[in-house]
Structure 1
Amino acid sequence: MRVPLRASAAVLAVTAAGAALTAPAYAAERRETTVTTNSSPVKGVVESVVRVKVPLPKAVGPHPAACDWLSYLRFRDVHGPASSAKADRILVAQPGILEGAGAFDSVARNTITAAAAKGKHLEFWALDRRSNCLDDTTGVLAGLAAKDPHVAVDYYYRKKRVDGRVFAGYQSNDQVKWLQNVGLEQTVRDEYDLLRAELPDQKLRKRKVLCGGHSLGGTLTGFFAEWDFDGNPATTADAGYNQCAGYFALDTRVATSLMGMGDFPKEMVPLLQFGAGAVKAGLESGVVPRTVSGPALINAETMNLLAIAGLAARVAPSGRSDLATYIPSSFNTDTTYRLLFSKDFATFIAGTPTIADFRFTNAAALGALLDDDSQPLAFLQASVGFFSGGPVVDKDFPVPNEMILSGNGAWKSLLGTERKAIPATPDGPQYGWQNYDAVKNVPKAKDGQPFTTPAKEVTDIAELARSLSEHPLDFTEHYFPTRIVTDIALAGAPGVADGAVHKNGITANPVINLEAGDGLGTRHPEPGDVIAPGYQHLDVLTAAPRQNGGRPEPISTNLAAFATKP
C-alpha cells in the first residue's frame, strides 16, 4: 500500500534513516516449501509458502531467528512445470508500505489463469519483507480453522493459547531496534539473494524473470534495477537490471523517487534538511519510531484488526459483527473507530454515536473499513460494493465530500476520489452489504448524485475477506521499517544508496504500467499505460476476474499479455 505523498511527509517529519548497511555475500543455508490449502474460486493455481534461510548480517543487531529467513508465496499453474526454472515467465513482486505477500493473491491467480488460457505457464512470486517475520498470524489462522473469529480475538487479546502458543504482544519501538538497520540496501539485496537461491542461472533470470511491485514496490524495483550487487560496477552480470527481462508497476512507477511519483519535496520535512547523519542519530536514540506507525489508525494492532475483520467476513458474512464490542476497549481501537466511523467533526469530538451503536453484518463491517465510499485514506481503499439494509448519509469527516470532489490533487492523494457515506441510524436496522456485482438502488448523496455505480465497483468482498485471512503470509505488514522510506528520501546522500550506480537500469528493460483509474499512480500517465477505470489503489491487486458487464479483469489480462510476449 502506498502512503500518499502528504501522509508520507507527516510520517517522515518524525522519522529518520541511517547510513547504508553493508550486507554480507549471499549464503543460503536451507529451503522449506509448504503447499497451502485455499478456498479461492479461481481454480487451476497451486499456492505454496517458500522459505529460504539467508541470515541477516551481524551488523543488524540481535533479532528473532525467524527473521533470518526470506519468505514468499509461490503461485503457479497447476498444469505447468513443477520447476520454476521451466516456467515460461516468473513475476516477482515487491509489496507496498504496510503490505505483505498475501495482498497479491487475486492478481497472481488471475494473471496465471489468463496466461494459461493462451497455453503459457506463469509463476507469480509475492515477496514478504524481513519485517513481516514479526507478524503473528496464529490467531487468524486458528479462527479460520474453527470458523470462529472469537478464537482469533481471544488469542490476541485474552492470552488464550493456540497449539500451546501464547501471543507475545505487539512489539514496542525498543523491541524492534534491529529494524533501524534494515533499509533500502538490505531490502533490494534480499530480493537479489532470493532470486539467486531459487534460480541460480543468471542468464535464465535475465530471460524469464519480470521484476515489479505495487505502490512503494515500484520504487524498490527501480532501485533494484540500478543496484550493483558485487561492489564492482565494471562487472554487470550482478546488476539488478540483469536479473530481469522486464518490469511491471501496479499503480506506481518503476523509479527511484519516493513512491515513483516525482522527487520527494524535502523542504516539507525539516528533519531531512539535516541529512543522513541526523536521521541515523534519530533512529539509534529511539526518539524516532523505527517503524511507520502512530498511536491510532496506522500501527501493528490496527493492521492485524483488518485481518480479524476479514476473518469474520470470511466465515460468517451475514452474521452480526460484534468485533467492536468483543475486542477490548483501548485508546488505539477506540480512537481508530472514531476516526473511521464519525459522520462529521462534531460526532468525532463528542465521541457519540460510536460504531458499537450501529448494527452491521460482518461483510458490512469489512466494507466500512476498506471500501472507497467509506474508508477515508486512499491507500487503504478498494471498490467492493455498498451498504444495504438502512439509510445512509454523507460522511463529512475528516473533510466534507465537496472537498474530496473538488479535484484537488492533494485531496485525491490523501482521501481518494469518491463520496463517503455512513449509516444514518444508530440502534436501528442491521446494515448489510451489496457486493461489487450486485450494487443497485444506491442512495444519493446530498449533491444529488448516487454514492456509487456498478461501473465503480470491481472487487469481490468475499475474495478480499479471504485474502486478508487465509494466507500464512499476511495481507498486511505490521512493522514497516521507517528506514526504508527515509533511505529513499535521502538516496542522494553519501552512504545511503551508494549501490544504485547503474543509472540506465530502469530503461534497460521494457516496462508495463498498470494503473488504477481512481488510484494514486495516474498523476503522469504515459503512452501505453493500462488504466483500469473505477479502480482504487488496492483494486489493482484484489479485483475480481470477471467485471461488471462481463468484462475481463484488465490489470491481470494485460499483465499476462505482457508476460507472455516472446
Structure 2
Amino acid sequence: MSLRPVSRFPAVLLALLPLALGSPVPGLAAPPGGAQRTETAVTGSSPITSVAESAVRVKVPLPASVGAHPEACDWLSYLRFRSVSGPADPAAADRILVAQPGVLEGAGAFDSVARNTVDLAARQGRHIEFWALDRRSNCLEDHTGVEAGLAAGDVHVAVDYYYRGRIAGGRKFAGYPTNDQVKWLQNIGLEQTVRDQYDLLGAELPGVAREKVLCGGHSLGGILTAFFAQWDFDGNPATTADAGYMRCGGYFALDTRIQRTLPGTDPGSQVPGVDLGPAFVRNALDWGLIPRTLSAPAVINSETMNLLAVAGLAARLDPAGESDLATSIPPGFNQDSTYRVLFSKDLATFAAGTPTVKDFRFTNAAALGGLLDDNSEPLAFLQASVGFFTGGRIADKSFPLPNDLVRTPGLEGLARLAGTERKAIPDEPRGPLYGWQDYDALKDVPKSADGTPFTTPAKEVTSIGELARSLSEHPLDFTEHFFPTKIVTDIALGSSPEITRDAVHLGGTTANPTITLLAGDGILAGDDTGTIFGQVVVAPGYQHLDVLTAAAVQNGGGPDPVSANLVEFAAR
C-alpha cells in the first residue's frame, strides 16, 4: 500500500503494495446533481457508537471507450462516517474529509481513523464527516461469503462459499476473474481515477464551498491527491474553476506526501518496458504481457486479499477459539505458497517445507496477528502494531530476511521492504495453543536473540479486535482484490504529456493548507521532513497501516495522534 523503488517485475508488486445492511439513511435520497444514488445504513460492533456509517453508491457510467464491463462498475461507492448527533445533510457539516485509499486498499481500511476523527470532533462540538472512497475496480469483488458468515456467526459459511461451491445469499461463487476477463481495467488509470473523484464530489456536493472539503489519502492516496489537485477537468487550462485544487480547502496525507512521487522513487525503473514510453505500455497491457491487475503467484493476489477478510471474520467471531483456516481451506498452490512464505522460521524451513503452519495451533486472533502484525508480517506495507503472541516458545524469524540484515550498515533501506521491527514466530510445532496479547494488554513479551524484547507497549497502537472488525464488517472491503496496474504505470510515466496532459496546475498541491501525518516506524521513517509543505506530525511507534487502524485510546491514556491532529487541522 505504498510506492517504493524496486528493480524487477513482479517484485515491483511487493514494493508498490505498499455486515449487516440496515434501512436507507435519511437525508439525501438522491444527489442534487440528478444521478442515481443509494445510501444504506451499515450496522456493526464498533465500540464507538456515536458515529453512524453508511454505504453510498452513485451512478456515474464509464465512457464507452473503456470497453465492455459489468454494469455494477458504472457506480462509484464510498463509506460515509458522520456523527449521529450531527446533520444528515453533508452540506451542513462543518468539514468533510474525502480520502483516497492506497494500493490494495479499499474503503473499509479507513474505518478506525474515520470513527476516531468524527467522534473526537463531535465531543468538541464540531460535526465532521469522513468519506472513504472505494476505487471503481472494487465492483469486481464478491463479499457474499464474508457477509453470510458474519450473519450466521460462522466463518465456515464463508469458507464453504469461496472454496467448496456452497450457496450463500442465493449465490454461488463464480471464482476470481482472470487477467483475460478484466481487459477493461487496462483503461482504468490515473485520468479515470481522479475524474471519478471529481465527478463524485460534483454529484454529492454541488454548490458546497471548497473550504468545507478536505482531500487526502493514505500511501498511494497522497499521490493521487496531488494529481487531483493539479488536474484541469474541462481541458482548458485558462479556466481554473474546474481545477482539482478548487474543490478542496486543504489536504491531508496519511503516511504519504501530497506530491506526484514519493521520496527516493525512480518511477522509470519500476515496470519493465516503461522507459519505452506510453505506447509500449499501452500495447503490453492490451496484449496481456503486463498483468492488468497487480498480482503475484502468492502473497499478493485477489485470493489472498480475500483470505485476509476471512481471517478477520474468524477473529471477529471467535478470537479465543482455535483456528482451523489452514486445514479447513482446501490445499492449493496459492494459499500453500503464501503460508510457506509467511510462516517459515528460516531459509532451511522454507526449503524443506516443514514444519508448516498446519503443524501449529493458533487462536483466531493469533492467526490474524501472524498475518499482519509488524513482528511477523514480512512486508512493511502490510504491517500494523496489534500486540504479540503468547502461550508458547517464540523464536526469531529470519525469513525472508534475517532480523539483523536490515540493521547492517549500508543495508538500512531493506527496512523499507521488511519494516523496522524484529520478526518473531512460534517455535513449538504440534505443541501448545498460541494466543494473542492485545496492544494494551502486553504482559509477557519474550526477548529476541539480541537480548531485547520483541516489542514494548510504546510500539503497539492497534487493537487486534478492531482490526478484525474492520476487515470483516463493511460492505466495501478493507482490502482491494483487483488494483488496476494502469494507475501505477501512469504514475511511472507521469512526465509524459500523453498521460498527464491535464495535470497542468502545478501549484495546485501547495494552493491549500496541508497536514502530513507520518508513521514513526513506517515506510517513510527517516526521510527528511524539512522539505514537506505544511504541517508535519509524526506518530511514534506507528507502522504504515496504523495511521488508519490505531485505537482511539493509546497506551498511556492519550488519544490517537492521527485523528486528534486531523480534528485540529479541520477546525482551522
- Equivalent residue for 1:90, pick from 83, 93, 96: 96
Quote the offset at 1:309 in angstroms.
0.2
Inter-partner Cα distance in structure 2 for 1:486 and 1:186: 13
1:521 paired to 2:524: yes
Distance 1:107 1:58, change over 3 A: same
Native 8 Å contact 1:27 1:55 kept in 2: no
CA displacement 1:175-206 (0-9 Å, x = unmatched): 110000000000000000000000011xx241
CA distance in 2, matches of 1:307, 1:452: 26
- Higher-RCO chain (CA-CA 8 Å, sequence separation at least 6): 1
- Tell me the residue number matched to 1:19: none
Contact 1:157/1:328 (<8 A) preserved = yes
Partner of 1:240: 244
**CA contact 1:30–1:53 (8 Å) conserved in 2:** yes
Cα displacement (A) at 1:27: 8.1
Aligned equivalents of 1:3, 1:382: Cα separation in 2: 17
Partner of 2:446: 443
Q: Deviation of residue 42 (structure 1)?
A: 1.1
Task: Report the counterpart of residue 42 of structure 1 in structure 2.
Answer: 48
Instruction: Give the structure 2 partner of residue 21 of structure 1.
Output: none
Shift in CA distance, 267/72, structure 1 to aligned 2, threshold 3 Å = closer
Hey, what's the Cα distance between the residues in 1 that align with 2:468 and 2:267?
A: 36
- Corresponding residue number in structure 1 for 2:179: 173
2:506 is paired with a residue of what secondary structure?
coil
- 5+ residue gaps in structure 1? 16-25
Q: Could you tell me how far 1:270 is from its partner in structure 2?
A: 4.3
Aligned residues: 552
Question: Which residue number in structure 1 is paired with residue 29 of structure 2?
Answer: none
**Alpha-carbon separation, structure 2, partners of 1:247 and 1:88:** 16
- Whether the 8 Å contact between 2:189 and 2:490 is mirrored in structure 1 is yes
Cα distance, 1:265 vs structure 2: 4.6
**How far, CA to CA, are the matches of 1:245 and 1:108 in structure 2?**
19
The answer for the alignment partner of 1:5 in structure 2 is 5
Q: Percent identity?
A: 66
Tell me the residue number matched to 1:103. 109
Distance 1:224 1:563 in 2: 20
In structure 2, the partner of 1:494 is: 497
**Aligned residues of 1:318 and 1:362 also touching (Cα < 8 A):** yes
The alpha-carbon distance between structure 1 residues 129 and 459, as it changes in their structure 2 partners (threshold 3 A), is: same
Is the contact made by 2:98 and 2:215 (CA closer than 8 Å) also made in structure 1? yes
- 2:545 counterpart of 1:541: no
1:113 is paired with a residue whose SS is: helix
Equivalent-residue separation in structure 2 for 1:289 and 1:79 (angstroms): 46
Residues 34-86 of structure 1: CA distance to partner in whole angstroms, max 9, x if unpaired? 01101100121000000000000000000010000000000001111110000
Whole-Å separation in 2 of the counterparts to 1:290 and 1:245: 34
- Written as runs of structure 1 = structure 2, the 5 A alignment for 1:55-134 is 55-134=61-140
Cα distance, 1:547 vs structure 2: 0.4
For 1:325, the equivalent position in structure 2 comes to 327
Closer, same or farther in 2 for the Cα pair 1:353/1:296, shift >3 Å? same
Cα separation, 2, equivalents of 1:405 and 1:30: 54
Would you say the 8 A contact 2:33–2:204 is kept in 1?
Answer: no
Aligned to 1:402: 404
Structure-2 residue corresponding to 1:282: 284
The aligned amino acid for 1:548 is N
Q: Report Cα offsets for 1:375-412 as digits up to 9, x if no partner.
A: 00000000000000001000000011001333744211
Instruction: State the secondary structure of the residue aligned to 2:517.
Output: strand
* TM-score, normalisation: structure 2: 0.94
| Cα deviation, residue 524, structure 1 | 2.5
Structure 1 residues 471-490: aligned runs within 5 Å: 471-490=474-493
> 1:434 & 1:8 partners in 2: Cα distance?
38
Query: Which of the residues 352, 357, 370 maps onto 1:355?
Result: 357
Take 1:255 and 1:271, find their aligned partners in 2: how far apart are those partners? Answer: 24
The superposition leaves residues 341-388 of structure 1 with CA deviations (integer Å, 9 ceiling, x where unpaired) of 000001001100000000000000000000000000000000000000
Scaled by the length of structure 1, what TM-score is found? 0.95
Structure-1 residue corresponding to 2:163: 157
Alignment-derived partner of residue 256 in structure 2: 252
Query: CA RMSD, aligned part only?
Result: 1.8
3-state DSSP of counterpart to 1:496: helix
Q: Could you give the per-residue CA deviations for residues 293-321 of structure 1, whole angstroms, max 9, x where no partner exists?
A: 01110000000000000000000000000
1:136 aligns with 2:142: yes
Matches within 5 A, 1:360-399: 360-399=362-401
Distance in 1 of aligned mates of 2:472 and 2:571: 31
Task: Give yes or no for the alignment of 1:146 onto 2:148.
Answer: no
Aligned match for 1:32, one of 31, 38, 43? 38
Partner of 2:295: 293
SS at match of 1:504: helix
Relative to structure 2, which stretch is displaced further, 26-35 or 362-371? 26-35
SS at match of 2:510: coil
Q: What is the CA distance between 1:272 and its match in structure 2?
A: 1.5
Counterparts in 2 of 1:404 and 1:135: CA distance versus 1, 3 Å:
same
2:560 is aligned to 553
User: Which amino acid letter does the alignment assign opposite residue 464 of structure 1?
Assistant: L
Q: How does 1:190-205 map to 2 (within 5 A)?
A: 190-201=196-207, 204-205=208-209
- Matched with 1:508 is 511
The 4+ residue runs of structure 1 with deviation greater than 6 A are none
1: CA distance between counterparts of 2:399 and 2:518? Answer: 27
Equivalent residue of 1:247, what SS? strand
Work out the CA distance in 2 between the residues paired with 1:13 and 1:30: 36
- The aligned amino acid for 1:212 is G
Aligned CA distance change for structure 1 residues 8 and 133 (closer, same or farther; 3 Å)? farther
Determine the C-alpha separation between the residues in 2 that align with 1:13 and 1:44: 39
| Kept after mapping to 1: 8 A contact 2:96/2:212 | yes
Query: Are the counterparts in 1 of residues 5 and 269 from structure 2 also a CA contact under 8 Å?
Result: no
Gaps of at least 5 residues in structure 2 are 16-31
Q: Equivalent residue for 2:210?
A: 206
Distance in 1 separating the partners of 2:105 and 2:34: 25
Structure 1 residues 374 and 266: alpha-carbon distance in aligned structure 2, compared to 1, 3 A threshold: same
| Counterparts of 2:501 and 2:187, CA distance in 1 | 16
Paired residue type of 2:416: S
The 3-state SS of whatever aligns with 2:196 is helix
Deviation at 1:494, TM superposition (A): 2.6
- The aligned counterpart of 1:430 is 433
Query: Secondary structure of the equivalent of 1:549?
Result: coil
Residues 190-238 of structure 1 show CA distances to partners (whole Å, capped at 9, x for unaligned) of 000000000011xx24120000000000000000000000111111111
Separation of aligned partners in 1, 2:118 and 2:131:
11
Does structure 2 conserve the Cα–Cα contact (< 8 Å) formed by 1:14 and 1:288?
Answer: no
Is the CA contact (8 Å cut-off) linking 2:5 and 2:12 kept in structure 1? no
* 2:396 counterpart letter in structure 1: D
1:20 is matched with: none
Amino acid of the residue matched to residue 63 of structure 1?
H
CA distance in 2, matches of 1:170, 1:240: 35
Q: Distance in 2 between matches of 1:200 and 1:27?
A: 7
Partner AA of 1:422 in structure 2: I
**Residue type of the partner of 1:148?**
D
